[in-house]
Chain A
Amino acid sequence: MTPAEPTPETFRETLRKQGIDLPESDLAAALPSAVRLLRAANRLLEQTDV
């Protein structure tokens, strides 16, 4: 079971818990990179699970 991809809301909340209130423009720009990174990280987890 790999973690679900972030939505704008969950990504914003993740960062808010770290004390970062992400401006809308930064959220829009960073989210696609975060999704790509998470997909790559999930692939690593899946390889380990095999």
Chain B
Amino acid sequence: MSELIDLPLRAQAAALTRRETSAKELMQTVLDRISRRDPKLHAVVHLDARAMDEAQRWDDTPLEDRPTLAGLALGVKDILDVAQAPTRCGSYAQDKLAQRDAAAVARLRRAGMTPLAKLATYEYALTGPAWDQPNPPARNPWNTAHITGGSSSGSAAAVAGGLLRVALGTDTGGSIRAPAAYCGIVGLKPTLSSVPDAGCFPLSPALDVIGPLAACVEDAALVMEALVPDSKAARALGQDIEGLRIGYARDWFVADPACDPALLRAMDDAAATLSMLGARIELIDLPDYQPLEEAGSVILQAEAWEVHRAALADHWPRYGVDARRNLVTGAILSEAHVAAARRAAARFGAQVTELLGTYAALLAPTTLGPAPRFADFEDGPVWTAMRTLPFNMSGHPALSVPCALSDAGLPLGLQLIGRHGDEATLCRIGHAYEQAGPNMLCPPITCPGAAV
């Protein structure tokens, strides 16, 4: 029984259909796992006591009336509302009881999933880790001295730590993909605006996207398809990638001093693996990264300031120190600055769209190195090198898939970028790579024989 919750969602659903277990037993196993492991991971900030009742309702529902994902547990980043549960956004400045599910949560509930756990987030999905939030920072299951990355920190820790197969996160500049890469799991940032954002506390509406962090590509695809049925994200899984052209943006990171040597080896190995699977890998050029990150930061900081400025005036001491110091920087920007940044974003978006007229997907790293240590953050926020924010600006979907371990034994991730609305091709390529790529070890906390 304890192994069933480690199997992909499809296998868990099949076991329920065959009545090898009940939804209630399955949910209890997840709760037991959380109670054993979460004290070391700090991923969960709230458990929904109604989950067992919901599981019982699925057990009482005839098989033919159960939707695809009936009875399976879901984690939800704590900036998304779950009806009758608190939404705290990782902040003392926010404490409300949600009246209804966020639209994305509601879609997954309709698909049968039970939102069992609210999960840790960097404060208002902005900056972290921090120690002046209502809950301690989530820890990386591969090595708890290291951060998970953020801002979907609890979602990544919960999935990598084997508490849940899948959790919802949000991604404004990499907040799904970076923690997925740091924690050795899959993260899918859907196409901008494809997943409804009602009931999600905004950070930067021009960049924010809701999507899944998952233990494997298949799980991410199933959840994506439940969120946006037209994505057909799960239907292309298993199709070969023979003949697909993939543009490899090698020059976009190879000369960056922050690039971990193990990452460069892993990216080249990934390109070789995709080639062996039949894809046609061609080197491509993308515009210089630094100006793109600057344009994205201008949009993000300006919009985050607009979202928070009234509340900052009213509740300054209740915001965490790093969050409030970050937010006020946006006050310095003018409308002309933001307009210039939006023009830069549009130019980049057009360039990527043009490339994707030739290529089925682009290949780039997610982050340029493994997760930093908590100790690195003792004096305040630390900049970490990644290649994620430009695709929030362009709105293209992007999938992070584990590709290697660093010399220190921490995960690294590659990123596939696809055409607007074409999450299916990303999942198809990601799934093929996952099946053929490196056989990643498990985080120590999840290994057979581990005390937890």
Q: Is the CB of B341 within 8 A of A37?
A: no
**What are 14 A-B interface contacts by the 8 Å CB criterion?**
A18-B309, A18-B313, A18-B331, A20-B328, A29-B321, A29-B380, A33-B325, A33-B329, A37-B330, A40-B294, A41-B334, A43-B291, A44-B294, A44-B340
User: Interface code A1-14, partner B: CB below 8 Å = 1, 0 otherwise?
Assistant: 00100100001001
> Could you count the A-B residue pairs with CB atoms below 8 Å apart for me: how many are there?
77
A45 to B, closest residue via Cβ: B340
B49, CB-defined interface residue at 8 Å: no
B301, CB-defined interface residue at 8 Å: yes
- A14, B328: Cα distance in complex, Å: 10
**Known interface pairs A18-B313, A48-B340; A43-B331 also in contact (CB < 8 Å):** no
**Minimum distance in angstroms from B373 CB to a CB of chain A:** 22
Q: Is the CB of A26 within 8 A of B333?
A: no
- A47, B380: Cα distance in complex, Å: 32
Chain B residues engaging chain A, CB cutoff 8 angstroms: 291, 294-295, 297-298, 301, 309-310, 312-313, 316, 321, 324-326, 328-334, 336-337, 340-341, 343-344, 380
**Known interface pairs A20-B313, A40-B298, A44-B344; A34-B332 also in contact (CB < 8 Å):** yes
**Minimum distance in angstroms from B308 CB to a CB of chain A:** 10
**Minimum distance in angstroms from A2 CB to a CB of chain B:** 9
Q: Is the CB of B328 within 8 A of A41?
A: no
Q: Is the CB of B313 within 8 A of A38?
A: no
Q: Is the CB of B336 within 8 A of A38?
A: no
**Minimum distance in angstroms from A32 CB to a CB of chain B:** 9
B301 contacts which chain A residues (CB < 8 A)?
37
A19 contacts which chain B residues (CB < 8 A)?
310, 313
B328 contacts which chain A residues (CB < 8 A)?
15, 20, 22, 26, 30, 34
- A6, B326: Cα distance in complex, Å: 15
B317 to A, closest residue via Cβ: A23
A22 contacts which chain B residues (CB < 8 A)?
328
Choose one: A3, A20, A34, A41; the contact of B341 (CB below 8 Å). Answer: A41
Choose one: B309, B325, B334, B343; the contact of A26 (CB below 8 Å). Answer: B325
Q: Is the CB of B297 within 8 A of A37?
A: yes
A41 contacts which chain B residues (CB < 8 A)?
294, 298, 332-334, 337, 340-341
Q: Is the CB of B313 within 8 A of A44?
A: no
Choose one: B294, B310, B325, B343; the contact of A48 (CB below 8 Å). Answer: B343
**Known interface pairs A26-B321, A29-B380; A47-B331 also in contact (CB < 8 Å):** no
Q: Is the CB of A14 within 8 A of B332?
A: yes
* Closest 6 A/B residue pairs (Cβ): A19-B313, A40-B294, A41-B337, A44-B340, A30-B325, A34-B329
Q: Is the CB of B309 within 8 A of A45?
A: no
Q: Is the CB of B341 within 8 A of A38?
A: no
A33 contacts which chain B residues (CB < 8 A)?
325-326, 329
- A30, B328: Cα distance in complex, Å: 7
B313 to A, closest residue via Cβ: A19
Q: Is the CB of A38 within 8 A of B344?
A: no
- A44, B309: Cα distance in complex, Å: 24
- A40, B344: Cα distance in complex, Å: 12
A26 contacts which chain B residues (CB < 8 A)?
321, 324-325, 328
A6 contacts which chain B residues (CB < 8 A)?
332
**Minimum distance in angstroms from A18 CB to a CB of chain B:** 5
A3 contacts which chain B residues (CB < 8 A)?
334, 337
A46 to B, closest residue via Cβ: B340
Choose one: B291, B324, B329; the contact of A37 (CB below 8 Å). Answer: B329
**Minimum distance in angstroms from B320 CB to a CB of chain A:** 11
- A33, B383: Cα distance in complex, Å: 12
Besides A11-B332, A37-B301, A37-B333, 12 other A-B contacts (C-beta < 8 A) = A14-B331, A26-B324, A26-B328, A38-B332, A38-B333, A40-B294, A40-B297, A41-B294, A41-B332, A41-B340, A41-B341, A45-B337
- A22, B337: Cα distance in complex, Å: 24
**Known interface pairs A20-B316, A44-B294; A37-B332 also in contact (CB < 8 Å):** yes
- A38, B331: Cα distance in complex, Å: 10
**Minimum distance in angstroms from A14 CB to a CB of chain B:** 5
Q: Is the CB of A30 within 8 A of B380?
A: no
